[in-house]
Amino acid sequence: MPKKIINQIKKISPSLLNLILFFLTTLAVLIIVFYQLFVDKNYRFLNPKKFLQPQFLKGLLKGNRELEVNSWEELKNKNIFTSLVFLSPNKDKAALIREDNNDFILSISQGGENKTKEIVFNSLKKLNIIQWDKDNNRLYLAYLDEEDFWNIGIFNLIMIEENDLSEKIKPLVEKINFKGDKLTTSIEPISEKIVYPECDPNCHFVVFDLAKGTKNSISIVDETNEKNIMVVSLNFFDEKTEKIIYEIKTKDMAYIIDFSSYLWHYIYLKPTPDNLIEIKGIFVDSLGNKKLVAYSKLKRQTYLYDINDIGLKVIEDE
């Protein structure tokens, strides 16, 4: 060390030097302790990138609040999103799909006018509703064509009003290689992005940007960080919280990851040979927090996995 620096240090009074050292040591200890307080449900430390995200820090400032549902009977009386019926953003329309003699029928009901329109699709192998668009007048649909490719398109309700069904679905994404009865489902009306699975042959998720028309690939992970996954089932995605919920049925496991492939939850769907846990849907509490609802018939227990953050609540049947 240069003599000049040594002489400057010697000029500092011992009391001031001790005070500086004490302050720096205390600050370092507080940072380490504060960081170690926040681990996920599997006792892994949150990485700094995740730890410093505004959404995560906002959750810390708000604090933990108890869920207002304390029994299965109460929960059953709530509106649980199951991807069977889709309400429009303004809550004035409802859409669902039913199958009749190999035809798929899209039914759209308008509450205020008390009428239902039905559109028949007779050249598709599968048809799913992904979700409403935020504009309240369009539906995003996923459909399996005769060549066994999945496609994503838009159905515009204005065509119903004008009785023009010459082009029922306007294609957005075509020729998606995926084997499954359902492609993807959004929890809330879609604003900017659609997430869907694709396998070639290893599976991954694709985030499709509607405005830019770009695709961003997301790795599918499991609890062992295995990335060569050949079979997957996407249950739900949530654009607002940037979360994806999916199952790997060959492992009897379900997972919640974010758009950066960070694993937030993994769920045993068959913890014992006779105990099957079934994913029921999504519950949104009065604070707007989303919970993944799973149920064990054997244990008579309902499990609520926090989608917005890390957390699990267990409800016993009465």
pLDDT of res. 309? 79
Q: Are 124 and 104 in contact (CB under 8 A)?
A: yes
pLDDT single digits (tens) 2-44? 555 555 555 556 666 677 777 788 877 776 655 555 544 444 4
Amino acid type, 302: T
Q: How confident is the model at residue 64 (pLDDT cuts 50, 70, 90)?
A: very low
For residue 227, pLDDT over 50 is answered with yes
Q: Is the dihedral of CA 270, 275, 278, 283 positive or negative?
A: negative
Mean pLDDT of the chain: 81
For residue 160, pLDDT over 80 is answered with no
pLDDT single digits (tens) 194-219? 999 999 888 999 999 999 999 999 98
pLDDT single digits (tens) 235-259? 999 999 999 999 998 899 999 999 9
Top mean pLDDT of 8-12, 62-66, 227-231, 294-298 is at: 294-298
Q: For the residues 30-59, what does the mean pLDDT come to? A: 52
pLDDT of res. 41? 42
pLDDT single digits (tens) 105-138? 999 988 766 688 888 888 899 999 999 999 999 9
Question: Residue 296 is encoded by which pair of tokens?
Answer: 């064990």
For residue 228, pLDDT over 80 is answered with no
Q: Are 314 and 302 in contact (CB under 8 A)?
A: yes
pLDDT of res. 77? 65
For residue 162, pLDDT over 70 is answered with no
pLDDT single digits (tens) 253-291? 999 999 988 888 889 999 999 999 999 999 988 778 899
pLDDT of res. 19? 75
Q: For the residues 305-310, what does the mean pLDDT come to? A: 84
Q: For the residues 161-177, what does the mean pLDDT come to? A: 76
Mapping DSSP onto H, E and C, the string for the chain reads CCHHHHHHHHHCCHHHHHHHHHHHHHHHHHHHHHHHCCECCCCCECCHHHHCCHHHHHHHHHCCCCCCCCCHHHHHCCCEECCCCEECCCCCEEEEEEEECCEEEEEEEECCCCEEEEEEECCCCEEEEEEEECCCCEEEEEEECCCCCEEEEEEECHHHHCCCCCCCCEEEEEEECCCCCCCCCECCCECCEEEEEEECCCEEEEEEECCCCCEEEEECCCCCCCCCCCCCEEEEEECCCCEEEEEECCCCEEEEEECCCCEEEEEECCCECCECEEEEEEEECCCCCEEEEEEECCCCEEEEEECCCCCEEEEECC
pLDDT of res. 43? 40
- Within its chain, how far is the Cα of 81 from the centroid? 13
Total count of residues recorded for the chain: 318
User: pTM (2 decimals)?
Assistant: 0.76
For residue 88, pLDDT over 90 is answered with yes
Distance of alpha carbon 218 from alpha carbon 210, whole angstroms? 17
> Could you tell me whether strands 233-238 and 263-268 are parallel, antiparallel, or unpaired per DSSP bridges?
unpaired
pLDDT higher at 154 or 35: 154
pLDDT higher at 228 or 121: 121
pLDDT of res. 71? 62
